[in-house]
């Protein structure tokens, strides 16, 4: 099965178009699987992980760089990179990991 994501910029009230997201598999070390840029709807055009296996994963959302591009900042935002670590215990299940974020906070959940 697969891992997908989408992100919503609650600061602007819009999908996070252009947000960079990296996917890692964590075993004895942190292994980069794929790096993507979210589309106009704040979603990945393809799964960020095409075929999952049981284990630990991390999605890293580059929100600091995203905000530098969309708003004029006099200083860096509080958040830079938002890591979301989770465990896949069933490789026959799809995992959708959304992120809702602003310059100072974020939330995530296991979507469907």
pLDDT of residue 75: 67
Q: What are phi and psi of 36, to 5 degrees?
A: -135, 165
Q: Structure pTM?
A: 0.94
Determine how many CB atoms are found less than 10 A away from the CB of residue 74.
4
Is the distance from CB of 106 to CB of 19 less than 8 angstroms? Answer: no
- Tell me the domain boundaries of the chain: 3-108
pLDDT tens for residues 13-37? Answer: 999 999 999 999 999 999 999 999 9
CATH number of 3-108: 2.60.40.180
| H helix runs in the chain, sequence order | 63-70
Question: Once rounded to an integer, what is the mean pLDDT over residues 4-15?
Answer: 96
pLDDT tens for residues 36-91? Answer: 999 999 999 999 999 999 999 999 999 999 998 888 766 677 899 999 999 999 99
């Amino acid at each position: 099965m697969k891992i997908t994501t989408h992100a919503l910029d609650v600061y602007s009230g819009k999908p996070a178009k252009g947000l960079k997201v990296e996917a890692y598999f964590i075993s004895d070390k942190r292994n980069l699987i794929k790096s993507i840029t979210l589309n106009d709807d704040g979603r990945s055009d393809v799964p960020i992980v095409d075929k999952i296996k049981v284990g630990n994963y991390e999605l890293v959302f580059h929100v600091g760089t995203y905000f530098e591009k969309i708003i004029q900042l006099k200083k860096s935002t509080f958040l830079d990179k938002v890591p979301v670590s989770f465990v896949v215990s069933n490789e026959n299940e799809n995992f959708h990991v959304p992120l809702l974020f602003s310059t100072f906070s974020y939330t995530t959940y296991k979507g469907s």
